[in-house]
Amino acid sequence: MPYVTDPTAPRIAVVGATGVVGTTLLQLIQDRGFRYRDLHLVASARSAGREITVEGRTYRVHNLDGFDFSSVDVAFFSAGGSVSTTWVPKAVAQGALVIDNTSAFRMDPDTPLVVPQVNSHELDARPVSGIIANPNCSTIPLVRLLKPVEERWGIRQAVVSTYQAASGAGYSGIDELRAAARSVLEDPESPGVSETFSPSLGFDVIPRIDRLLDDGFTFEEQKMLQESRKILGLPHLDVTTTCVRVPVVNSHSEAAWVECHNPVDRAELVELLAGQTEVTVHDRETVGAFPTPRTAGDPNQVHVGRVRVAGHNPRGFWMWIVADNVRIGAALNALQIAEVLTERGVL
């Protein structure tokens, strides 16, 4: 039972409790037995007053506007970047430690950007800013796999294409994909539904996620470069990406070409990746096997397949990655941060 009366267990708040990430976080808190002694569910005025049952207890959703964080030890924020920009500093000033799922503070030098399997040393003490940032959903699985490769062979460059699911845009993204697919099935000439995604995501792929920057890259692509460098502590790491939204409900995929400083042996690479915490390599026994968003299996694992060392350039290899963007890329990573903080007595 994660709910306890133990006065040393933290009092938690989930901001964005009615969203895709918040709902999944509440499920994971129960599934993983994360101990807490008080729980506050927070969202916008739209959901205020709604009742949500967690572990058999019914909680009323609070309106963030006016919510007091002084009785909260740790607050998980998953309600959008502008909400975090305004409210995270207030929550910190009222005494809460914040684990933020948005991009608002990721590049702040006083805010650690943490993937527990990669840089958990950042969690040894309470950060100066009072905030721990959770990285972008495509960056997290990538850096979990790049870290051991960097340590073994050294990385010269990584070139990555992402295939990102509609759930990355929350409940409205999932609903819109379903509506768009229905409308194109009924009428192939239909322009499809297009509010969250443009053009419509029904039976199409969109090579632009988040806003376009002056250099032609998107903010999503810039996040993958900057965040990978910060998490891995490699300020000159060469990672370049094309981020693409695809008509998949949940779980992001990535095709990654990684060129190393030294020749790579496929068998050793496969064993190295398979030995990482919470990583499943699908072509360990059957060369060429691969995971997909619908068939990968355990959503709490990073899935890898089609590991190929290039014959013409044995310093380079490809791998295909699938990871649940809502869990690995957001809620699970955030909860694992809190678990480490609790183990180390920081919370």
Instruction: Give the catalytic positions in this structure.
Output: 137, 252
- Dihedral, CA of residue 277, residue 140, residue 315 and residue 296, to nearest 10: 70
Task: Please identify which residue in 129, 138, 139, 167 interacts with ligand NAP, judged by CB under 6 A.
Answer: 167
**Complex with ligand NAP: residue 172 or 276, whichever CB lies closer:** 172
Q: Under the criterion CB under 6 A, does residue 83 sit at the interface with ligand NAP?
A: yes
Q: Which residues contact 47 (CB under 8 A, 6 or more apart)?
A: 17, 18, 61
Q: How far is CA 310 from CA 84, 151, 288, in A?
A: 44, 20, 14
Q: Identify the residue among 11, 30, 37, 81 touching ligand NAP (CB under 6 A).
A: 81
Among 3, 10, 12, 22, binds ligand NAP (CB under 6 A): 22
Q: State which of residues 9, 20, 155, 256 lies at the interface with ligand NAP (CB under 6 A).
A: 20
Number of residues that bind ligand NAP (CB under 6 A): 29
Side-chain-side CA neighbours of 272 within 13 Å: the count stands at 17
**Ordered DSSP codes for 111-161:** S-B--HHHHGGGGSS--TTSEEE---TTHHHHHHHHHHHHHHH-EEEEEEE
Min dist CB 146 to ligand NAP, Å, is: 19
Taking the least distance from each CB to ligand NAP, the nearer of 16 and 291 is: 16
Q: Retrieve residue 343's tokens.
A: 């183990």
Length of the chain: 347
Under rule CB under 6 A, residue 341 binds ligand NAP: no
Question: In the stretch 84-113, what mask flags binding to ligand NAP with x, by CB under 6 A?
Answer: -----------------xx-----------
Q: Which residues pair with 212 in a beta bridge?
A: 218
Chain contacts with ligand NAP (rule: CB under 6 A): 16-22, 43-44, 46-47, 64, 78-81, 83, 101-102, 137, 167-168, 170-172, 325-326, 329-330
